[in-house]
Amino acid sequence: MMNYKLILASKSPRRQELLKGLGVEFEIRTKEIEEVFPPALFKEEIPLYLSNLKAKAFEKDLKENELVITSDTIVWNENKQLGKPKSRAEAIEMLQNLSGKKHEVITAVTLMTKTKTHSFYETTKVFFKELSQEEIECYINNYQPFDKAGSYGIQEWIGFVGIPKIEGDYFNVVGLPLFRLNEELGKF
């Protein structure tokens, strides 16, 4: 890892904070990418595709000693992907659909240098209690989760009162699977 200058290609303050937690120095560089994927992709194929797409945008710009980290997170519920809500009504609908059920959060990460690309993904199962309409609306009104896949952030109020358990990496649900990322960076 020390052989490379790390670049995090993410505007997400959550991902930036998580990577800081690993104690590594990095620079933030972003590019505007249209996050569109082929409709035939299923489950983990979606974030893997998008993470690779984001990395490829840096292909020509990377210097010999630079390693870019890109990632994408999706919420997978009832055999379909839940993205970021486009409206308050869509956010309410997403949380109603997650209420009382188990779903999966899948984050894919791509590590790329000038000569090498490696991608991996991590899956965490998240269990929501049955949420009341009042809880859903209170959360949306106070936390505005429009920049979050599935319309929620586990690190916010809804996670404290609405998620009794998870199976897997908590940080994966926040947006970056830190344990696995640290392992993969060590191997890289």
> Annotated active-site positions, please?
72
Distance CA(110)–CA(130), nearest Å, equals: 35
Q: Report how far apart, in Å, the C-alpha atoms of 99 and of each of 43, 96, 103, 123 are.
A: 20, 5, 10, 19
Query: For residue 123, which amino acid is it?
Result: T
Distance CA(120)–CA(25), nearest Å, equals: 22
Q: Which two tokens stand for residue 4?
A: 């490379």
Query: In a 3-state reduction of DSSP, which class is residue 16?
Result: helix
Q: Which candidate, 25, 5, 24, 27, places its Cα nearest to that of 113?
A: 5
Query: In a 3-state reduction of DSSP, which class is residue 72?
Result: strand
Residue 11: DSSP 8-state: -
Residue 148: DSSP 8-state: S
